[in-house]
């Protein structure tokens, strides 16, 4: 997912859940900041690098893929962008090493989604934003794992876009990261095929390019982990569910609901706008920001400012050490560390060392 959904659509979802304009802005800013809070940014701010929620391309190029490096990568990507659906999933006749990676495959409505939302309850709006990012990505990034793995994240070269009821268009990939995706000719950028199991090229949905990040696209492909079965990814449908689930989750966070249950979606507030939302999701373009922004401004009657990475940085830098936790970024950092710790600990408790040894509180 991109800024259009993490920032503007999250704002819309927060408004529909009952948050005020200002609160919604804080939530959607935090949701989008998850994609930008790299070590590079944190070091510049003098903030703890452990709170990193993403890795920049340049950081990934330098990332080690020995066990410590993989654990570091997995802690970040599995916690914030590829939340595992089932840490105890099984597959017959597979080695433990394979299963450890297989169990990190991302998907919606897993136990960790529930824990993520519950973790954000009674915490800051920044934590709510982080939870909404994580939840939304479980829909966009499903079928990929937040750890480098050829046997899980590789795909067949044959991707087909499904258009209309019966139309099919062959998707072509190239490996030029500076070239924008060409929607007209169905030419997209993806990562290079590397046969090294732990190559960075095999992290997340790199092999499928940005296809999972576009709300309009429906496509068919063959993931490496699914034993020669074809998978259809229906982004417009998945993104609609993601939006409805965000509204449902934020109604829980705001206190309108006593419990958060998985596989539940808000119907009351969202169904009124269903046609509008589906129209925004289904329109074919690289970014749906303008439409989401217009929708959000209609909902609140307020102007939604563009996302500004520098917006809260001075506040954090200038705050004295003992007051940094009270700043916007300070609260974001606390929420990020809590989320990363919760997910990493859950992975460790499942007997999987891919996120390292993390034990908080014991049991």
Partner 1 sequence: MNIHNSDNNINLRHMRDNLVHAGYGYIIFGIWSVIKLLMMSTMQKEYSGLLSDSIGSSTGDYFLAIAITVAAYLIIIIFTLGMHLWIGYGAVRYGRGTGHRKYYVVLSVIGIIMTLVLLPLYFWNPSEGTPIIPDDTTIASILVDITLVFVFLDMIISTVRIDRLMKSTDPDGSSETRD
Residues contributing to the site for partner 1 (CB under 8 A): 220, 222, 227-232, 234
Q: Which is nearer to partner 1, 222 or 286 (CB)?
A: 222
Could you tell me the smallest distance in angstroms from the CB atom of residue 195 to partner 1?
A: 11
Q: Which is nearer to partner 1, 64 or 94 (CB)?
A: 94
Could you tell me the smallest distance in angstroms from the CB atom of residue 143 to partner 1?
A: 13
Terminal-to-terminal C-alpha distance of the chain? 36
Q: Which is nearer to partner 1, 220 or 276 (CB)?
A: 220
Could you tell me the smallest distance in angstroms from the CB atom of residue 94 to partner 1?
A: 16
Q: Which is nearer to partner 1, 66 or 227 (CB)?
A: 227
Could you tell me the smallest distance in angstroms from the CB atom of residue 60 to partner 1?
A: 29
How far is the C-alpha of 154 from the C-alpha of 224, rounded, in Å? Answer: 5
Q: What angle do CA 76, 79, 82 make, to 5 degrees?
A: 95
Q: Which two tokens stand for residue 270?
A: 């969202």
Q: Which is nearer to partner 1, 96 or 195 (CB)?
A: 195
Could you tell me the smallest distance in angstroms from the CB atom of residue 232 to partner 1?
A: 5
How far is the C-alpha of 266 from the C-alpha of 94, rounded, in Å? Answer: 39
> What phi and psi values does residue 357 have, to the nearest 5 degrees?
-100, 110
Could you tell me the smallest distance in angstroms from the CB atom of residue 238 to partner 1?
A: 11
Q: Which is nearer to partner 1, 232 or 309 (CB)?
A: 232
**Of 350, 337, 338, 345, whose CA–CA distance to 362 is shortest?**
345
**Of 194, 98, 100, whose CA–CA distance to 155 is shortest?**
194
Nearest-10 Cα torsion for 19, 4, 36, 146: 100
Beta strands in 136-230, from DSSP E residues, in sequence order: 159-163, 167-174, 187-189, 218-221
């Amino acid at each position: 997912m991109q800024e259009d959904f993490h920032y503007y659509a999250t704002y819309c979802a927060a408004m529909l859940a009952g948050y005020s304009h200002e609160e919604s802005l804080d939530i959607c800013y935090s949701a989008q900041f998850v994609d930008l809070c790299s070590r590079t940014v944190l070091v510049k701010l003098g903030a703890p690098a452990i709170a990193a929620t993403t890795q920049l391309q340049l950081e990934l190029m330098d990332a080690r893929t020995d066990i410590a490096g993989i654990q570091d990568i997995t802690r970040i990507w599995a916690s914030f962008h590829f939340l595992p659906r089932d840490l105890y999933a099984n597959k017959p006749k597979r080695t433990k090493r394979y299963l450890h990676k297989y169990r990190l495959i991302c998907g919606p409505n897993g136990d960790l989604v529930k824990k993520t939302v519950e973790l954000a309850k009674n915490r800051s709006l920044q934590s709510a934003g982080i939870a909404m990012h994580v939840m939304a990505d479980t829909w966009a990034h499903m079928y990929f794992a937040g750890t480098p793995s050829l046997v899980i994240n590789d795909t067949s070269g044959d991707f087909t876009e499904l258009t209309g009821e019966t139309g099919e268009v062959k998707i072509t990939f190239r490996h030029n990261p500076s070239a924008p995706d060409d929607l007209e000719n169905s030419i997209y950028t993806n990562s290079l095929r590397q046969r090294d199991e732990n190559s960075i090229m095999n992290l997340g949905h790199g092999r499928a390019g940005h296809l999972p990040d576009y709300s309009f696209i429906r496509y068919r492909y063959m993931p490496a982990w699914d034993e020669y079965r074809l998978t259809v990814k229906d982004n417009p449908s998945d993104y609609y569910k993601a939006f409805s689930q965000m509204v449902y989750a934020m109604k829980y966070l705001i206190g309108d609901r006593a419990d958060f249950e998985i596989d539940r979606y808000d119907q009351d507030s969202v169904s009124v706008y269903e046609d509008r939302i589906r129209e925004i999701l289904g329109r074919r373009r690289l970014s749906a920001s303008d439409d989401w922004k217009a929708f959000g401004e209609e909902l609140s009657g307020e102007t939604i400012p563009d996302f500004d990475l520098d917006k809260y940085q001075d506040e954090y830098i200038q705050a004295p050490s003992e007051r940094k936790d009270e700043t916007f970024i300070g609260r974001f950092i606390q929420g990020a560390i809590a989320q990363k710790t919760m997910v990493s600990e859950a992975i460790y408790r499942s007997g999987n060392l891919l996120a390292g040894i993390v034990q908080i509180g014991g049991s």
